[in-house]
Homo-oligomer: A and B are copies of this chain.
Amino acid sequence: MTQIENARKGIVTAEVAAAAAAEGLAPEFVMKGVAEGTIAITRNRVHKGIAPLAVGKGTRTKINANIGTSQGNSDIETELAKLRAAVSLGADAVMDLSTGGPIKEIRRRLMEVSTVAVGTVPIYQAAVEAAVGKGSIIEMTADDLFGVIEEQAAEGVDFATVHCGITFESIGRLKAEGRILDVVSRGGALTVEWMVYHGKENPLYEQFDRLLVIAKKYDMVLSLGDGLRPGCLADATDRAQLTELITLGELTDRAWDAGVQVIIEGPGHVPLNQVETNIKIQKELCKGAPFYVLGPLVTDIAPGYDHITSAIGGALAGMAGADFLCYVTPSEHLRLPNIEDVKDGVIASRIAAHAADIAKGVPGAIEKDIQMAKARKALDWDAQIALSVNPERARALHTPGVGDGSDACTMCGEFCAIKHVQDYFKKD
């Protein structure tokens, strides 16, 4: 039985119990969410080495780090180093998006080493194999694609992005409406290209039941991808995006009926004043299924700083109900991220998720800030550094003041406000 089937029978599985315990929630609460589909447990039945993760309503906002190779950047050790850095700084999951080098071997090594859930986008492997084996991406067949999905599921992939909502209907709407940036999802673009070239409907949509059989067998979560997500603010929240989302809502029903867990992927580039709307509409159309957003990026003009544009959008999205934030690194739109980019991306995303958790009232969130505030009051620098989101960086930056301000920092020195009023406000 899958997690969702067990939960519907009122059974608290070992995975539900572990995921609940990891964030101090009652196992029955998580079980109920899994039964209703508002919480997904991202752990493939055969992927024993990782901690089960609960993603969804009432849980801590989770963050994912995308790693993986591209052409010309395909060193396994580099990707393993990114994995370790992401996990050590607090990534709840990683996705291997490799498209360069020995991608099967890279995935296997990452899955062996990872202590957190691993997601993939199977169409990348299918496309690379078609390019290498058949001379062109376009020669990929539906069977090739399902074959790769089954292979990855059997190896233990915990969640897989499948762009099932790209249909002739949704791409027709996109073309009719007109966009600046059309399609910016890699998997989405490959799917559109394949459909248009062959004049055939998307196999992941047409043969969705075949996908459900695979997902159910391994209890692999289907991450229903947003292949038509907007690639710039001007394209956000348009008819193509919403048509795809409506389809994903319908497929969510079918997955749940089949006992398969789903999460829904969302944008992307979204103006700040449309972020909340995007979350609310997904929650309605997909009946509360967990929402996994990429950013969102609230401006297009900050390449080099898109971890910040995404932290802004991610925090607001999380407050509005997004459950899972895909990090964006400073190198987005410019290059494949290096290890420093990965670190910066994870931290920015954690800050966004935590700010959202405080706003949502997630148990335990504000308590961390209260501890930090008390450490600041006490001018206890060791505690402040230990309580930091990245103690290594806080320690590197902290510089003690001089003279009378030596227990303050160089920002204010002897003019430290906390020092000046501590006697007057001393608690009796």
Q: Name the distance in Å between A96's Cβ and chain B's nearest Cβ.
A: 14
- Say yes or no: is A250 at the interface (Cβ < 8 Å to chain B): no
For window 375-428 of chain A, which residues contact chain B by CB distance below 8 Å? 376-377, 384-385, 387-390, 393-394, 396-399, 401-403, 405, 409-418, 420-422, 424-425, 427
A411 touches B331 (CB 8 A): yes
Given the known interface contacts A271-B359, A298-B355, the answer about A333 and B420 at a Cβ–Cβ threshold of 8 Å is no
A367-379 Cβ-contact flags toward B at 8 Å (1 or 0):
0111011101100
Bound together, the chains give a CA A425 to CA B410 distance in angstroms of 56
- Say yes or no: is A1 at the interface (Cβ < 8 Å to chain B): no
B180 touches A377 (CB 8 A): yes
Bound together, the chains give a CA A420 to CA B184 distance in angstroms of 9
Bound together, the chains give a CA A26 to CA B390 distance in angstroms of 47
- Say yes or no: is A50 at the interface (Cβ < 8 Å to chain B): no
For window 211-260 of chain A, which residues contact chain B by CB distance below 8 Å? 231-235
Bound together, the chains give a CA A71 to CA B184 distance in angstroms of 51
A308-329 Cβ-contact flags toward B at 8 Å (1 or 0):
1101100110010000000000
A415 touches B124 (CB 8 A): yes
Closest B residue to A404 by beta carbon equals B71
- Say yes or no: is A70 at the interface (Cβ < 8 Å to chain B): yes
A356 touches B272 (CB 8 A): yes
Most B Cβ at <10 Å: residue of A71, A124, A184, A336: A71
A332-354 Cβ-contact flags toward B at 8 Å (1 or 0):
11111100000000011001101
A336 touches B372 (CB 8 A): no
Which residues of B have CB within 8 Å of A373?
Answer: 180-181, 231-235, 300
Bound together, the chains give a CA A4 to CA B196 distance in angstroms of 63
Q: Name the distance in Å between A106's Cβ and chain B's nearest Cβ.
A: 15
Cβ 8 A contact of A301, one of B348, B352, B387, B414: B387
B-contacting 9-mer, from A8-16, A185-193, A201-209: A185-193
Cβ 8 A contact of A272, one of B319, B396, B422: B319
B273 touches A319 (CB 8 A): yes
Cβ 8 A contact of A303, one of B73, B388, B412: B388
A376 touches B72 (CB 8 A): no
Closest B residue to A227 by beta carbon equals B417
Which residues of B have CB within 8 Å of A354?
Answer: 299, 301
A397 touches B304 (CB 8 A): yes
Which residues of B have CB within 8 Å of A410?
Answer: 70-73, 335-336
Closest B residue to A413 by beta carbon equals B71
Cβ 8 A contact of A418, one of B184, B196, B298, B393: B184
B272 touches A421 (CB 8 A): no
Q: Name the distance in Å between A181's Cβ and chain B's nearest Cβ.
A: 5
- Say yes or no: is A287 at the interface (Cβ < 8 Å to chain B): no
A388 touches B304 (CB 8 A): yes
Q: Name the distance in Å between A161's Cβ and chain B's nearest Cβ.
A: 14
- Say yes or no: is A266 at the interface (Cβ < 8 Å to chain B): no
A residues whose Cβ falls under 8 Å from a Cβ of B: 70-73, 99-100, 124, 127, 174-175, 178-186, 188-190, 192-193, 196, 231-235, 271-273, 298-305, 307-309, 311-312, 315-316, 319, 330-337, 347-348, 351-352, 354-356, 358-360, 366, 368-370, 372-374, 376-377, 384-385, 387-390, 393-394, 396-399, 401-403, 405, 409-418, 420-422, 424-425, 427
Q: List 8 A-B contacts (CB under 8 A).
A: A188-B417, A193-B421, A233-B366, A233-B373, A271-B366, A302-B347, A308-B347, A336-B410
